[in-house]
């Protein structure tokens, strides 16, 4: 078993930066787990602390049955692929892949054989005698993976392994990585700040901010029901619309517009209460003709995204002032609403448009936290050993 369990894990760097702040997290055996968050939120620190390359200032890390908090990296049975691959430039591909085995004092013949086998699995057989400088970015990435794989670790830690690749190679590499992880079934923690990559690859995602976990869930859970406005704004290729609203006679008032209350907010809100209404641009429908009660305003920007366009409207809204936590900044009394419009139906800047939320897709946030009748704050237990999901 190689589940990873972190309890109140804390890392304070010399100088006082609290990079991990009493973080609790459980990663299941065999899971492909993504760590997502803005630059500086502590992703690399968390991986390095799991690997033993950083000493925890407090709390514990367990891998399987073992408490590894006090163990040096070599005794933890983890392999890490770094942000910059960190290949040895003076060594051949073969020697790079075999290096961890050399450290483990595996004899020369065995390690040569293992390096060749791993290289073959990763399609590197023809490149064994080359040096890293003679490889493409994608090939270097595979060498770094092969080096991590060659010693069959219990845990893979991958720190933005795709970040140096161009967009096309990156897509190829991530499909490859997903297949490889599924075949090997090794517990994998994958750091990225690309939310699309996390959604595409992971069994579960943890979204981090300031050394803490803001939400853990499947890609669907974090996309459909962000637990707070931070996650809502972070996940999704276009951030969720977060609009100041007021409960008014069983409906939500946004300026002159009246919107239905989200399904599971019934009984959870009080009349007159100010909240933040959240809806993804993908879940709004645009109408060029008047829809009674709908959000309406002037089209200010139309961005072509290929098969769809992202349309921004300037909409009159409640003047709730800056006090509401999690409310977007904007001119008092106006707000910007974004809606995804299919090809061929795009309006022109200057047009007046109406937007209508699709049923079951809107959310409410109070003080930045999701208002819900069901207890989604609980983190669902990961499926035991079930990393496989395509
Ligand atoms: N060796 C160090 N000494 C002091 N502070 C550090 C050190 N390494 C990282 N930090 C700080 O700790 C915080 C977390 O850094 P970390 O590298 O874990 O972030 P990250 O989420 O990996 O960011 P990125 O996406 O930019 O790689 C940052 O504020 C960073 O400046
Ligand atoms: Mg990092």
| Lining residues, ligand 1, CB within 6 Å | 13, 15, 17, 19, 37, 39-45, 193
A 10 A CB-CB count for 19 gives 22
> Is residue 12 pLDDT above 90, yes or no?
yes
Residues with CB under 5 A from ligand 2 (ion): 44
Cα-to-chain-centroid distance, residue 158: 14
> Is residue 326 pLDDT above 50, yes or no?
no
Q: What is the DSSP letter of 228?
A: B
> Is residue 199 pLDDT above 80, yes or no?
yes
Q: What superfamily does domain 239-367 belong to in CATH?
A: Nucleic acid-binding proteins (2.40.50.140)
Q: What superfamily does domain 4-230 belong to in CATH?
A: P-loop containing nucleotide triphosphate hydrolases (3.40.50.300)
The answer to whether residues 148 and 73 touch, using CB atoms and an 8 Å cutoff, is: no
- Cα distance between residue 63 and residue 203, in whole Å: 19
Residue 4 buriedness (CB in 10 A; 0-12 / 13-18 / 19+): buried
Q: How confident is the model at residue 351 (pLDDT cuts 50, 70, 90)?
A: very high
Q: What is the residue whose two structure tokens read 């293992």?
A: 114
Q: What is the mean pLDDT of residues 310-329?
A: 65
pLDDT-above-90 percentage for the chain: 61
| Short-list 237, 202, 190, 243, CA closest to 362 | 243
The answer to whether residues 280 and 337 touch, using CB atoms and an 8 Å cutoff, is: no
> Is residue 324 pLDDT above 70, yes or no?
no
Domains 4-230 and 239-367 share a fold: no
Q: How far is the CA of 372 from the centre of ligand 1 (A)?
A: 34
Of all ligands present, the nearest one to the C-alpha of 159 is 2
Q: What is the mean pLDDT of residues 377-383?
A: 44
Size (the chain), residues: 390
Tens-digit pLDDT profile for residues 165-194: 777 777 877 887 888 888 888 999 999 888
Q: Which ligand 1 atom is at minimum distance from the Cα of 160?
A: 27
In the chain, domain spans: 4-230, 239-367
- Cα distance between residue 126 and residue 129, in whole Å: 8
- Cα distance between residue 202 and residue 316, in whole Å: 39
Q: Which residues pair with 183 in a beta bridge?
A: none
Pocket test for ligand 1, best of 11, 15, 16, 19 (most atoms within 8 A of CB): 19
Structure tokens at 323: 């006090």
* Res 294: pLDDT: 94
* Res 1: pLDDT: 65
| SS3 assignment, position 155 | strand
4-12: strand order across its sheet:
18-27, 4-12, 58-63, 66-67
* Res 120: pLDDT: 85
Pocket test for ligand 1, best of 44, 55, 83, 193 (most atoms within 8 A of CB): 44
Smallest CA separation from ligand 1 atom 7, residue: 13
- Cα distance between residue 47 and residue 82, in whole Å: 10
* Mean pLDDT across the chain: 87
- Cα distance between residue 144 and residue 321, in whole Å: 51
Give pTM, 2 decimals. Answer: 0.85
């Amino acid at each position: 078993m190689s589940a990873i369990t972190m309890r109140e894990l804390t890392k304070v760097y010399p100088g006082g930066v609290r990079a991990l702040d009493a973080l609790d997290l459980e990663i299941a055996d065999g899971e492909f787990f993504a760590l997502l968050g803005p630059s500086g939120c502590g992703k690399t620190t968390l991986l390095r602390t799991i690997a033993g390359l950083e000493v925890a200032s407090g709390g514990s890390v367990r891998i399987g049955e073992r408490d590894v908090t006090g163990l040096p990296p070599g005794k933890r049975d983890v392999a890490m692929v770094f942000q910059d691959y960190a290949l040895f430039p003076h060594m051949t591909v073969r020697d790079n892949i075999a290096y961890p085995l050399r450290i483990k004092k595996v004899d020369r013949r065995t390690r040569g054989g293992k390096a060749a086998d791993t290289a073959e699995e990763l399609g590197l057989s023809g490149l064994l005698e080359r040096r890293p400088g003679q490889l493409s970015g994608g090939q270097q990435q595979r060498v770094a993976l092969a080096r991590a794989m060659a010693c069959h670790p219990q845990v893979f830690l991958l720190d933005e392994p795709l970040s140096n690749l161009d967009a096309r190679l990156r897509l190829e590499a991530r499909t490859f990585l997903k297949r490889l992880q599924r075949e090997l079934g090794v517990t994998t923690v994958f750091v990225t700040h690309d939310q699309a990559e996390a959604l595409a690859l992971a069994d579960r995602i943890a979204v981090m901010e300031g050394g803490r976990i803001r939400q853990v869930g499947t890609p669907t859970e974090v996309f459909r029901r962000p637990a707070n406005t931070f996650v809502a704004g972070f996940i999704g290729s276009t951030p969720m619309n977060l609009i100041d609203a007021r409960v008014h006679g069983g409906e939500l008032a946004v300026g002159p517009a009246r919107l239905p209350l989200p399904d599971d907010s019934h009984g959870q809100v009080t009349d007159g209460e100010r909240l933040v209404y959240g809806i993804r641009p993908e879940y709004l429908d645009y109408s060029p003709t008047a829809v009674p009660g709908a959000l309406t305003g002037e089209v200010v920007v139309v961005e072509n995204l290929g098969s769809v366009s992202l349309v921004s409207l300037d909409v009159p809204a409640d003047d709730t002032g800056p006090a509401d936590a999690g409310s977007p900044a904007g001119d008092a009394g106006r707000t910007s609403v974004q809606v995804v419009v299919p090809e061929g139906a795009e309006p022109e800047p200057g047009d007046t448009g109406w937007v209508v939320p699709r049923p079951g897709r809107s959310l409410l946030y109070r003080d930045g936290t999701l208002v819900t009748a069901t207890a989604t704050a609980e983190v669902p237990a990961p499926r035991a050993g079930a990393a496989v999901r395509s």
